[in-house]
Amino acid sequence: MESRLDQEAIRILKANDRGGFTIPTARLYPYQWNWDSAFAALGFAEFDRDRAWREIETLFEAQWPDGMLPHIVFRQNDPDYFPGPAIWQSNTEPPSSGHSQPPVTASVVLRMVQGGDASDLERARPLFAKMLAFHRWYHEMRDPDGTGLVGIVHPWESGRDNCPDWDIGMDRIAVPDDLGPYQRRDTEHIDPAERPSTAQYDRYLTIIKFGRECGWDHVEMARNGPFFMGDPGVQFILMRADRDLLRLAELLGETAAQEQIGRWLERASAGCQLLWNPEVNAFCARDLRTGEFSDGITSASMLAFYAGAGTDEQRAAMAVHAARILDQVAFGFPSFDPAHPRFEAKRYWRGPVWAIINFLIVDGLNEAGETQLAERIRDDTRRLVETAGFFEYFDPQSGEGIGGSDFTWTAAVHLVWGSGSTNSRAA
């Protein structure tokens, strides 16, 4: 029997449906976002599997010829959002942004296949080559030197847009005199104190300007763009997604792809060691231009469990950090270490709790046998929704809902955890 919250979550997904693709929330985010759509599909799969598959299929309609899956798909021009298609100038149809987002699609597709029947496997079949091309793009265009560590060319590519991880890379960006005037839209919908600063936005647009002027040459952006950092979030999500894509290749009989995916996994296992910060004894972001580490532990650091990354000793250290951080907050898992001076409980990705990151962390902790930590984070996520509603993110101390309301991926996580039908991943 559906609870009141289940019914509300279903209502939110249906209300944010725009006819085959889902927006994160009205007005603040009026387009189709890459990893938002993947999580939306998981939510839809709990009550409408055809609609769930359609979400993934429409997302791949925007795939670039080189394999990239862009982070925003502009299916119409909406004045409520900046920067829109006129700023990005992708020269694609449909128009899109010029970089990507964390590659969760293969993991979502595997969950849907393993939670479904033969018809779900057949729905996945035509998507396999597209997902393989997307992963190949990440390994070639974001790791052009073959180190095993992928980088990001813009903080937005991480999905954790305003995290303090990016401060060391962002602070080195020189804003050009010809950047031009612009009018943000996010601060018209949300308290500016909860959003990135104007100085940070100037740097975001400086990176876009470079990409636009080089014709979105992805290797050029990685080698010579204003920003290039190693992100534990993207690295670990890609490692897990490669593992899940390999499992899909096995289920679909795609034998030719299995060797290549295996090589990616072997290389990434070594590459993730470049993110181990011995000063902090944790996985941290790193500026790939200078080699400088961020000194903060984030929720993305905890995705080492999700990827199965690192040594036994490293994962044990991460579990100790997780327990320490959870002891400092009323609700876990904060997006940045509360003990760090740059922690901000309410500002975008600089402290708040995000249900989708919790979802991935819990999956990884359970696989690693850290079940008590996993249950604490899952229970906290449920309590946040029960007390505050389906918000974009939450204050880890007060539990207040922040950002956009009626948020798609928060509703989706609630539905998946509430029913349990796709929560447990088969081996």
Domains of the chain: 4-419 (1.50.10.10)
pLDDT digits (tens, 9 = 90+) for 10-27: 999 999 999 999 999 998
Q: Assign 1 a pLDDT band (cuts: 50, 70, 90).
A: low
Exposure class string for 417-427: b at 16+ Cβ within 10 A, else e: bbeeebbeeee
pLDDT of residue 426: 31
- Residue 392 among the catalytic residues: yes
Count of CB atoms situated within 10 Å of the CB of 186: 19
- Report which DSSP code applies to 286: E
Count of CB atoms situated within 10 Å of the CB of 369: 12
DSSP codes joined into one string, 300-345: GGGGHHHHT-S-HHHHHHHHHHHHHHHTT-SSS-BSB-TTSTT--S
C-alpha 342/C-alpha 144 separation (Å) is 32
At 263, list the tokens.
């090589």
User: Which position among 161, 220, 292, 295 bears the catalytic label?
Assistant: 161
**187-191, 216-220, 311-315, 403-407, range with the lowest pLDDT:** 187-191
| 260: Cβ contacts below 8 Å, ≥ 6 apart | 136
Question: What does pLDDT average to over the chain?
Answer: 95
Question: What would the mean pLDDT of 206-216 be, rounded to a whole number?
Answer: 97
Give percent of the chain with pLDDT exceeding 90. Answer: 89
User: Which position among 165, 380, 392, 395 bears the catalytic label?
Assistant: 392
Give percent of the chain with pLDDT exceeding 70. Answer: 97
Question: What would the mean pLDDT of 181-206 be, rounded to a whole number?
Answer: 83
Is the peptide bond prior to 155 cis by the omega test (within 30 degrees of 0)? no
Residues in the chain: 427
Residue 273 above 90 pLDDT? yes
Question: What would the mean pLDDT of 127-141 be, rounded to a whole number?
Answer: 98
Residue 421 above 70 pLDDT? no
Q: Assign 419 a pLDDT band (cuts: 50, 70, 90).
A: low
- Residue 78 among the catalytic residues: no
